[in-house]
A and B are shown apart, each in its own frame.
Chain A
């Protein structure tokens, strides 16, 4: 048996070979409650998991951020912000928590069919919430997402209803809108831009039930 390699060395090697799925390709849209059944029906017909039906999920997501003021005039941003999301399943108790970092949306080519942003996704132990608090993170917002997940090849499609966090009783949660959010995403190593094209074609097949689009987050934050 050979000497075990240093973990950091194998990570740099993996980065160099570009095998780490650290880019998320994403399209988003929404559908009104009264039409969601029609969309689910269409997805059942289009996606891979036809026999077993869609997988359901019921998750609690908390978004944390680390913030420090930027000193000096070297940058236009007054604060350095680093966001991390923790997601845990409410309906299944023995699964690990998920920790996720989502980076800034890549500007790149305007004609690119999807949003491309860096993403690091990992399973972690349940101590993550305490760990992030101790790390200096604060909670920005939290919500409950309940819905369905479909697969088509390497694409993931989720149809989720978002609820505000109520008091401790889970029954008292309140939906934030009369619609469902629909997301089409793929997590892949960087540079695999052909995925964007596959996603565009798939999104085309869901029209006019739902219009999946490339959302410009910068514009959204300016609107708020």
Chain B
């Protein structure tokens, strides 16, 4: 477990699958080896009106931590995070009187997982009810757990295969936490930020 940077990527006049193809070729040319698949998904539940002001619970799973369920509770002003065992999903089903989910809100990012030296790269296609909404590139630098100490290195690596589209600044969520130890829940926060943005998008061009 190291530091992870998640960024969106798109190419003009290219569809989702075409963009993935371009990226896979670039990463393979750098010497990356494909190591299986990955999946990050997010289901959103909202509180029923009788429960007072509206709160939203986002329940996320990451195939990198298959025995854990991550939940982020948004009360409008702050987000509280929680990590639990897999049975949390069952608990959410029991809570359906209080928190309900809409079928159309389920988002997932899935695709191929590559390893290249100390880096792990995941090229994900984001879909909402089987509509492609965009491409998310996840890069993890595994030997380090403090973002500030490896950000420059990661930025350079990202530029190596994303070119000018690579992020020039750390993700907004990480900017206040650059000196802190990085945890898997931090990756989940980044996914949620992107999922929220991509959900609002209609279709990828």
Contact = CB atoms under 8 A, between A and B. Distances in A.
Contact of B80 (A20, A80, A120, A130): A130
A68 B50 contact: yes
Interface string A125-138: 10110110011100
B38 to A, nearest CB: 7
Contact of A1 (B35, B69, B83): B35
A6 B43 CA distance: 11
B80 A134 contact: yes
A7 B69 contact: yes
Contacts of A6: 39, 41, 61, 108
Given A7-B61, A131-B73, A122 B80 contact: no
Contacts of A17: none
A167 to B, nearest CB: 27
B66 interface: yes
Contacts of B38: 4
A125 B82 contact: yes
A134 B75 contact: yes
A28 interface: no
A135 B57 contact: yes
Contacts of A123: 84-85
8 contacts: A7-B86, A7-B89, A11-B86, A80-B98, A99-B84, A99-B91, A131-B71, A135-B55
A125 B84 contact: yes
A183 interface: no
Contacts of A4: 36-39, 63, 66, 110
Nearest to B84: A124
A212 to B, nearest CB: 28
Contacts of B82: 124-125, 127-128, 131
B30 interface: no
A141 interface: no
Interface string A1-39: 111111110010001000010100000000000000000
Contacts of A120: 87, 90-91, 94
A125 B110 CA distance: 26
Query: Which one of A80, A124, A128 has the highest number of Cβ atoms from chain B below 10 Å of its Cβ?
Result: A124
A82 B95 contact: yes
Interface in B55-110: 55, 57, 61, 63, 66, 69, 71, 73, 75, 80-91, 94-95, 97-98, 108, 110
Contact of B97 (A15, A82, A122, A125): A82
B88 A68 contact: no
